[in-house]
Structure 1
Amino acid sequence: MAISRATTEKVKERADIEEVVNDYVPLKKKGQNLWACCPFHNEKSPSFSVSPAKQIYKCFGCGKAGDPIQFVMDIEGIGFNEAIRHLAQKYGIEIEEDNIGSQEDLQAFNERESLYIVLNFAKDFFVQNLNSEEGKSIGLSYFKERGFNQSIIEKFDLGYALEGWDHLHKAAKAAGYSEELLLKAGLILQKEGDANRFYDRFRGRVTFTIHNLGGKPIGFGARILTQDKKQPKYINSPETEVYHKSDILYGIFQAKKSIREKDNCYLVEGYTDVISLHLSGIENVVASSGTSLTENQIKLIKRFTDNVTVLYDGDSAGIRASLRGIDMILEGGLNVKAVVFPEGEDPDSYARKVGSSAFSSYLEKNAQDFISFKIGLYAEEAANDPIKQADLIKQVVQSISKIPDPVIRSVYIRQSAHLLEIDEEIIQAELNKIYLKGQKDQFFKEQRRQEETFVEDLIPSKEEPTSQSFLIELQEREMLRLLVNYGFEMVSDELNVCQYLLQETVDLTFQTPIYDKILGIYKTALAEGVLPQPEYFLQHQDSEVKKEVINMITRKYELSTLWESRYQIFTHHEADDLAKTVYDSILHLKKKVIKKMLEEAKVKIKEAEQENADENIVTERLGIYMELKKYQVEIDKQLGIVISF
């Protein structure tokens, strides 16, 4: 099912890079651009830049770059068509599609898109089942007992899977979905030993829809309502192409806006905990859905806030079993607080017991930083036992060692020393032991890696570029950067940058494929009467071309305009003297090319001498070398270089 060109163009015109990125990452203004910690790799200080003027993003750490559509593709891990659909939904743009038959529609979608479609069908099916007689008496009545109103049921796409073996299977088949697709989506199972018998995975259970960041259904959790001990209380969708349990958090779609606004994320364990907090007016909450917290889930939270408050059930044994999650959150660079509910209570039960106002008040009054929380958890049993006291100190120090920020780490060292009533030096000494062990482990790990690759290192790659080739590549990039940024600026009364650069390099062939491609696109555009400004390349279908051009038109650091406007401090800009900048760029490129040719000429002369070649051949090659040398000396003079090298 192809999206029409008209729809694509509408999305491109409407999608705003600041609005799109802000759905995933909190941006802060600095200079002309907006900045954030990159959502694609771990970092402590922001290197991810968004330019509202140019409608592009660029990470100076990992190199990711693109426009709003590319950002959605990168962040969601989806294709171009799906990114267009995502943005069309965000901006309320009607999607126009080419007229293709229904069977062809299904075949035209890639596997991921097909999975999203059939999972959305299943979500609608389960939701509609709540209106059936069975759904009302069992599913809806369960939700009402828990205090879930119609608004919250719709907000979270809660539903019901009918009793019986194949209600969903039959409905999906009637709608045109194949067993193969239903199996891949984890919605049905195949009977063992019978290739032609299928049955529903979810039967006689209330369903909780799991959404991705964009709000699309990607899986389901389902709770049984009977006391059948032979069946698990909850079952979940299996891992699929679109659903990876370790990468998603339940409720993240409904919570992301509130998390950013409140600058805090409440972390709970189950589906009903999330929903109960929403009923209490607390929307910045997500759940790990009963699984152990993962590194990718922590990264997902960090896209929206640096602060996490973990809500623990009133069960000390369960709390201790899950403490590793706090260390992982600290290691991920987030600040952690914890709230423990009274014995026998969990967020869901306690919210229903005390009401919205009292529940919110309890969270505020009982939130404590992880040091106080961890010490308080073991303080009583360690009070009169020196061995347990020592163990507690080591556990606290272990947690502090996970904090990447040295300033925050030093604050916690001081606090823990005060609460544990020991000297700061003791805690620092324990920390140093941990860091020293870590360095040793890293050393031996690196040593093993070097030993494993020793044989490979003895055989250098034939395709490894020479230093001169690399320098030429850099100079080619610099020339193209000037061409893309200043192509139509004048360098004289009758000559602009692109005319000058192209006529001066007409005899040069770019050795770097991507730069040669960009130069070719530039020349083709000129031949067609198009003036290729940076925006021209940002609309190009080739993502590599777009990324390279973004790299050429963005800078990590900018001089503040206040320097000149307020403080009268004037600095030199490359655009102030384009004629010299462009002229020097051409000379440097030619110099690098000549130097490479000189090295190649030397090799040929040496080969001729070693092979006792004809004297005329040696003389001819020497002549070529001397001509190249003269050219190099002439270029050096123009560059102001006294000694050629």
Structure 2
Amino acid sequence: MIDRATIDRIMDAADIVDVVSEFVSLRKVGANYKGLCPFHDDTTPSFYVSPSRGICHCFSCGKTTNSVGFVMEREQMTYPEALRWLANKYHIEIRERELSDEEKREQNDRESMFIVNEWAADYFSDVLLNDVDGRAVGMQYFRSRGFRDDIIQKFRLGFALPSRTAMSNTATLKGYKEEYLVKTGLCYRRDGGELSDRYAGRVIFPWINVSGKVCAFGGRLLDSRTKGVQQKYVNSPDSDIYHKERELYGIYQAKRAIAKEDLVYMVEGYTDVISMHQCGIENVVANSGTALSVHQIRILRRFTANIVLLYDGDAAGIHAAMRGTDMLLAEGMNVKVLLLPDGEDPDSFARNHSASGFREYIEEHQTDFIEFKTNIMLRGVTDPIKRSEAINSIVKSVSVINDQIVRATYIKDCAHRLGINEATLISTMNKFIRSGKEEKRKETAREEARTADKPQEPLRPATPDVQASKVEYMLVQAVVRHGEMTIYRNVETEDGGTTDLNVAQYISYDLGADGLSFHSEEYNRILAEAVEHSADADFKAEAYFTRHPDIGISTIAAEMAADRFQLSKSMQVQEDEDSLRNRVVHMVLDFRMDYVKTRLGRLREEMALAASDMEKLMPLMKEYTEVQNLRNRIAKELGNEIIV
């Protein structure tokens, strides 16, 4: 791992203007720089770079980041890869921190497995291109699919010789350990203990992860051997470097196009992905035989929130689309669905169309998930019970969407399309939402019961949604921008002395007195680190956090600092101690008000569930009264009318 001192040197050396200028043409505007945003189709320069703050921000698409984050986003790199890119640019030697024996063993095992897979991918490719059987059998198959040489090379396609020991014998002769041939799944041991090649006689599709490393393989039997064979494809088993539910085929080749187009096409198979690339459509991935998982969706969410499910129009394709829709919606994705005409799949369709023709067809025929479900589930249905079940399924899909405005929009659309009163649909949707929350609470209770022996945390505000509220954002923004600024002087301490409190210390003290904390762990960490460094004479919160070695922290801080740097210093409002103190105190009270309102809502739900059990109901009613009184006291401090 890269040690903290090295990360600090990289962050110190990385000049944001210098870094961005490698990719964007900038011109100086006052103290800042301006250019076309590289993260969306920008026609009028809206991308600003602030050398003093070390951040860049687009006032059109809202993207905000620092030097490391910019390289990660622009080049689609991981955090360590971006650090190494910058280290190379500024000629900084990377120093890895000393790992524990366990970490060394795990890291060595993983690296050894990646090395073996990299060698195997080259081996399979060499067999395909240079071996007599590889050219006659493997290459003939790829040619029959219409794959060009550049596409074969791009996806590192290969062929495994029919002999069950050809690859393993070559690997051991090259010095690769049998242990890693088995751990990667390239080989397995027969009953007698001998190694056997898993992919013998198959064409090979390497899986390349988002970082560009070969993590697994898929092997396909050739057409003449697939008659009557159920297992046409064999994929690598799960291992330390490959979990099928966490990987997407084609993600490495597609990630830049996905980010550029702000859209991803999801297909089912290897050849669908490859044919679409050859057609000229590169923003495409496949989950290849596995049910779509949350992990896969979150990989895609790093690059775009827009997805089109592009499946065959047969029963399997319809089932795959229906199965993934709710999960995608729950993860905040904007979902469209396109089922291709009968007898067509993305592979065949791509081979018969140009990129523009394919995209035009998708644009004209894709539907949102409501229209898709309506067409599939309600077409020709006259039975009232079946129609009711179908409508409930559609409304349930809407209920998993977290954004309330999007939910309301879809419900209005449903009411119009289905000819049902909007209030009825809202009532049904709310039942699903409450049911979902109740199931989450039950799962939380089950988890707490499993960990009952562990010490429990004190009071902590919790809402049905784990997203931080606006007031939390504003409080942490105050810590990032003004954390070191003193707002209370000569405050008496328990030992009879006095002390000054800055913004970070006051917020931490006030919330900590009642065991309150933020929903976001990153927010809690920002507050804790601001308090920890408050004693440092040269501590400046904004500079510290926008250059933080943790990319998550620095990205949050950059966003919170971004909306100020477009103004010149003379135009920026400079807060004095009194106005800053009043604003922070008011925000802390707002935070407390959010907490008590959330708690009151939960208590109402708990009382409704316990209505027939007086033993449970009485303490809930008592707490409800206490929290109501607390809410009214806070309202009075905020200058609002007391709520009854």
TM-score range, shorter chain: 0.5 to 0.7
Distance in 2 (CA, whole Å) between partners of 1:551 and 1:213 is: 21
In the other structure, the counterpart of 1:486 is: none
The corresponding residue for 2:611 is none
Partner in structure 2 of residue 374 of structure 1: 373
Q: 1:165 is aligned with what amino acid?
A: R
Q: Taking structure 1 as reference, are residues 220 and 94 closer, same or farther at Cα in structure 2, changes over 3 Å only? A: farther
Structure 1 residues 47 and 174: alpha-carbon distance in aligned structure 2, compared to 1, 3 A threshold: farther
Tell me the equivalent position of 2:573.
Answer: 570
Deviation at 1:209, TM superposition (A): 0.9
Please provide the CA RMSD for this pair: 5.1
2:65–2:554 contact (8 Å) kept in structure 1 = no
**Partner of 1:110: helix, strand, or coil?**
helix
Aligned equivalent of 2:417: 419
Return the alpha-carbon distance in structure 1 between the equivalents of residues 260 and 456 of structure 2.
Answer: 55
Could you say what secondary structure the match of 2:308 adopts? strand
1:215 aligns with 2:219: no
1:282 and 1:15 map into 2 onto residues whose CA distance is: 35
Secondary structure of the residue that 1:130 maps to in structure 2? Answer: helix
Q: Structure 1, residues 569-603: CA drift from partner, whole Å, max 9, x if none?
A: 632378xx9xxxxxxxxxxxxxxxxxxxxxxxxxx
**Deviation (angstroms), 1:222:** 0.7
Following superposition, the deviation at residue 267 of structure 1 comes to 0.3
Displacement after TM superposition at 1:409 (Å): 1.3
User: Aligned partners of 1:97 and 1:449: how far apart in 2?
Assistant: 40
Aligned mates of 1:424, 1:247 — CA distance in 2: 39
Secondary structure class of the residue paired with 2:400: coil
Distance 1:533 1:184, change over 3 A: farther
Name the CA shift for 1:175/1:95 in 2 (closer, same or farther; >3 Å): farther
Could you tell me which amino acid in structure 2 is paired with residue 198 of structure 1? Answer: L
Aligned residue type for 1:397: V
Q: 1:10 to 1:389 in 2, by over 3 A?
A: closer
Give how far 1:239 is off: 1.1
Amino acid at match of 2:164: W
CA offset at residue 154 of structure 1?
A: 0.5
Partner Cα distance (1:213, 1:446) in 2? 32
Q: CA deviation at 1:439?
A: 3.4
Aligned counterpart in structure 2 of residue 224 of structure 1, from 221, 246, 267: 221
Shift of 1:145: 0.8
Q: Is the 8 A contact 1:250 1:271 kept in 2?
A: yes
Counterpart Cα distance in 2 of 1:170 and 1:92: 44
Give the conservation status (yes or no) of the 8 Å contact 1:11–1:88.
no
| Residues 210-255 of structure 1: CA deviation (Å, up to 9, x unaligned) | 1011222111111000325356100001112111111111111111
Q: Supply the AA of the counterpart residue of 1:403.
A: I
> CA distance change for structure 1 residues 315 and 181 in 2, over 3 Å: closer, same or farther?
same
Q: Contact conserved, 1:249 with 1:297, CA < 8 A, in 2? A: yes
Which residue of the partner structure matches residue 204 of structure 1?
201
Map of 1:346-365 to 2, 5 A cutoff? Answer: 346-354=345-353, 356-365=355-364
Question: Residue 9 of structure 1: CA displacement?
Answer: 8.9
| Structure 1 residues 12 and 291: alpha-carbon distance in aligned structure 2, compared to 1, 3 A threshold | farther
Task: Indicate the SS of the match to 1:343.
Answer: coil
- The residue type equivalent to 2:150 in the other structure is S
Q: What is the CA distance between 1:533 and its match in structure 2?
A: 10
When residues 320 and 552 of structure 1 are mapped into structure 2, their CA distance, relative to the original with a 3 A threshold, is: closer
Contact 1:86–1:214 under 8 Å retained in 2: no
The residue aligned with 2:287 is 288
1:19 and 1:116, CA in 2 relative to 1: closer, same or farther beyond 3 A? farther
Change (3 A) 1:457 1:297: closer
Which amino acid letter does the alignment assign opposite residue 50 of structure 1? T
Match of 2:642 in 1: none
Structure 2 counterpart of 1:556: 560
Whether the 8 Å contact between 1:534 and 1:553 is mirrored in structure 2 is no
Shift of 1:394: 0.5
Counterpart of 2:623? none
- Aligned 8 A contact 2:76 2:256 in 1: no
Q: Any residues of structure 2 matched to 1:627-642 within 5 Å, and which?
A: none
Q: Name the structure 2 match of 1:254.
A: 253
Equivalent AA in structure 2 for residue 300 of structure 1? I
State the distance in 1 between where 2:279 and 2:442 align. 52
1:300 Cα shift?
0.8
Q: Is the 8 A contact 2:10 2:92 kept in 1?
A: no
Q: Secondary structure at the match of 1:362?
A: helix
Distance (whole Å) between structure 1 residues aligned to residue 543 and residue 420 of structure 2: 65
SS in 2 for 1:222: strand
Residue identity opposite 1:572 in structure 2: E
Taking a change above 3 Å as real, the CA distance of residues 160 and 573 of structure 1, as seen in their structure-2 partners, is farther
Query: In the alignment, is residue 314 of structure 1 matched against residue 329 of structure 2?
Result: no
Distance, in Å, in 1 between the alignment partners of 2:154 and 2:296 is 22
Q: Counterpart of 2:120 in structure 1: which amino acid?
A: A
Aligned identity (percent) is: 34
* Distance in 2 separating the partners of 1:51 and 1:118: 36
Q: How many residues align?
A: 483
Q: Secondary structure at the match of 2:380?
A: helix
Aligned AA for 1:425? A
Structure 1: gaps spanning 5 or more residues: 37-45, 58-66, 99-105, 461-473, 484-511, 524-530, 578-645
Cα pair 1:20 1:68 within 8 Å, conserved: no
**Alignment CA distance shift 1:519-1:198 (3 Å):** farther
Q: 1:407 to 1:191 in 2, by over 3 A?
A: same
SS of 2:560's partner is coil
Alpha-carbon deviation of 1:93? 9.7
Report the Cα offset of residue 15 of structure 1. Answer: 10
Contact 2:483 2:541 survives alignment (8 Å): no
8 Å CA contact 1:119–1:217 kept in 2: the answer is: yes
The equivalent of 2:322 in structure 1 is: 323
Partner of 1:62: none
Post-superposition CA distance 1:39-89 (Å, at most 9, x none): xxxxxxx9995223xx579xxxxxxxxx979x999x57xxx6x88778789
Q: Is the 8 A contact 1:313 1:345 kept in 2?
A: yes
Match of 1:404 in 2: 402
Query: Structure 1 residues 153, 56: closer, same or farther in 2, change over 3 A?
Result: closer
Q: For 1:254-274, what per-residue CA distance to the aligned partner results, in whole angstroms no more than 9, with x for missing partners?
A: 111111111110000000000
| Alpha-carbon spacing, 1:12–1:249, altered in 2? closer, same or farther (3 Å) | farther
8 Å contact 1:564–1:570 — kept in the other structure? no
Shift of 1:481: 7.6
Give how far 1:434 is off. Answer: 0.9
In structure 2, give the amino acid aligned to 1:223: R
SS at match of 1:342: coil
Question: Alignment partner for residue 111 of structure 2, among 85, 110, 113?
Answer: 113
Tell me the distance in 2 between the aligned counterparts of 1:287 and 1:14: 37
Pair 1:151 & 2:150 matched: yes
Change (3 A) 1:423 1:237: same
Alignment match, 1:185 = 184
Match of 1:50 among 52, 65, 70: 65
Could you tell me which residue of structure 1 aligns to residue 641 of structure 2? none
Deviation at 1:442, TM superposition (A): 4.0
Contact 1:11 1:93 in 2 (8 A): no
User: Does the aligned pair in 2 maintain the 1:277–1:347 contact within 8 Å?
Assistant: yes
Contact kept, 8 Å, 2:69 with 2:551, in 1: the verdict is no
Structure 1: how far apart are the matches of 2:261 and 2:555? 34
One-letter code aligned to 1:208: F
Residue of structure 2 in register with 1:170 after alignment: 169
Give 2:341's aligned residue.
Answer: 342
